[in-house]
Amino acid sequence: MGFALCDLTVTSTAFNQLGEIPNTHTGEAENRSPQLSWANIPDGCQSFAVVCHDPDAPRVNADGTYGYVHWVVYNIPSDIHQLEEDSNLYTSGLNDFGRGGYGGPMPPKGHGIHLYYFWVLALDTQLELPEGLSMRELLAKVEPNLIGMNRLVGSYQRD
């Protein structure tokens, strides 16, 4: 299937679509992951993965990826339809801070508004992937099993 949007809906109690991400969820403050919920689950879904990516970050890697990865979490069972605020459940991949878990927005000062894409991926199997995958590694492993995806986009800027 490729990476195509579906009817899956992603929401948060912390911010609305294109709304400003509260300071508590940024690297300038408490660095707590926001609550996320998802609904309209595709038929046949067996697990989920979540990624937060900032494509506006002024960064290009040697492997051709761009932007900045703030959160990678996977092996989320299909009966789970939300992550609570500051969640450290399920399997953590590596963010671009070089560690597992969530790393909140903190774009360069004066760089303007950045958009943060909180992607939820629905998979047709439970893969039991190992801890520590990068976003690129995760996407390569899940692509054959991806049956739907969508995102919630938040914004943030440092003055």
pLDDT tens digits for range 37-63: 999 999 999 999 999 999 988 777 777
Domain edges within the chain: 9-156
Query: CB within 8 A of 98, min separation 6: which ones?
Result: none
Q: What is the pLDDT of residue 3?
A: 65
128 conformational bin, left if phi > 0, alpha if psi -120 to 50, beta if neither: left
In the chain the beta strands, taken as DSSP E runs, fall at 9-11, 36-39, 47-54, 68-77, 82-83, 91-92, 114-123, 146-156
Claim: this prediction has a pTM higher than 0.85:
yes
Q: What tokens were used for 85?
A: 């605020």
Give domain 9-156's CATH architecture: Alpha-Beta Complex (3.90)
Q: What is the pLDDT of residue 2?
A: 56
Q: What is the pLDDT of residue 57?
A: 84
Strands 68-77 and 47-54: antiparallel
Q: How far apart are CA 98 and CA 19, in angstroms?
A: 27
Mean pLDDT by 10 residues, the chain (159 residues): 79 98 96 98 97 88 81 98 97 96 93 96 96 95 95 94
Q: What is the 3-state composition of the chain as percent helix, strand, coil, each rounded to the nearest 5? A: 10, 35, 55
